[in-house]
Amino acid sequence: MKQVASLYSELVESGKAASIRRYNLRKLCRSFDLPPCGVSFWELDDLNWDYLQTLNRSLVHERFVFRGGEHFPRSYWDDRVLGLDRRTEFIFLLTTGGNQHRARRAFFAHNFSDSERIFGTPKSPSPREDGDRLTTQFHHGLLMDLIHFSAHRAHLGALADFYLALALLTLTPTPAEMTRDGIFDSFKQNFPDYRADITRIKTATDLESKLDDILYLMGKLDG
């Protein structure tokens, strides 16, 4: 099977993409029992139709499904709930040296730098700030997705934990272990005021009270 890494090398070497920065979320995903997933930022020299058409044709891959970055993480969970255990690659486009998708670039560069792989030479450095705007987005993403996935109760607890983990990552230094427990523990150490909230969420047995606790905490962090 062709690796995504070799596909990306080819795209950059053949000049189809100017550069690609990729983050591997494998460890985080494994701790949620999810298939591997990656997030990549593509620098493009041009936005014209022929260029995008050529890229579109070269994106064929038998194991990975490519999605727009703005669908992270919903479409990943859509697959999960439907029982399609496929690997997902989320793509964000940037213009060469451009300033787009700042918040997401900062978020992944900050938290997933261990797994970063760079193809070619990016002209836009990863921005450092803007984590706080994502806290709101993750909070709202969870509200929407709880409604969207409400018919699939068995997945709701893990889905909410996944969103909470992402929201906590916008606020803490990078945890030693990029797993559900690693992120929760690191947050407890850095924000002792919330120790009790995290413990209650981790040990909850009733789904609805767990979800209420998560929404309440995310609302406070986002406030």
Partner 1 sequence: MDRYYLGKLVDDINTAASQLAEAALKPHLRTLCALDRRVVSGERHFKVLRYLLAVDHACPVQKLLRLRPAFENLCRRFSGPDFDCVCHFGHDAPVQPEGSDLTVLLHFYMLHAGRDDDWNRHLCAVLLDDPETQTSLLPPWTGFGEGLRRDQLEDEILSFCQHYLSGNFDSLIPIRDFEAAFWRVVNLACTYHGADDWDALVDLLPIRFRERLKPLPDNWNALREAERSFSQEAFVQCSRQSIRFCQQLMELEATP
Residues binding partner 1 (CB under 8 A): 47-49, 52-53, 55-56, 59, 66-71, 74, 91-95, 98-102, 133, 136-137, 140-141, 143-148, 150-151, 156, 208, 211-212, 215-216, 219, 223
Q: How far is the CB of 1 from partner 1 (least distance, A)?
A: 19
Q: How far is the CB of 10 from partner 1 (least distance, A)?
A: 16
Q: Which is nearer to partner 1, 186 or 194 (CB)?
A: 194
Q: How far is the CB of 127 from partner 1 (least distance, A)?
A: 10
CA distance 43 to 86: 26
Burial of 34 (0-12, 13-18, 19+ CB in 10 A): buried
Q: At what angle do helices 195-203 and 180-190 cross, to 10 degrees?
A: 160
Q: Which is nearer to partner 1, 22 or 178 (CB)?
A: 22
Q: Which is nearer to partner 1, 31 or 80 (CB)?
A: 80
Q: Which is nearer to partner 1, 189 or 209 (CB)?
A: 209
Burial of 27 (0-12, 13-18, 19+ CB in 10 A): middle
Cβ-based neighbours of 99, under 8 Å, separated by 6 or more: 124
Cβ-based neighbours of 215, under 8 Å, separated by 6 or more: 139, 142, 143, 146, 160
Tell me the Ramachandran region of residue 101: left when phi exceeds 0, alpha when psi lies from -120 to 50, beta otherwise.
Answer: left
Tokens 């062709």 locate to: 2
Q: How far is the CB of 102 from partner 1 (least distance, A)?
A: 6
Q: How far is the CB of 189 from partner 1 (least distance, A)?
A: 26
Q: Which is nearer to partner 1, 16 or 27 (CB)?
A: 16
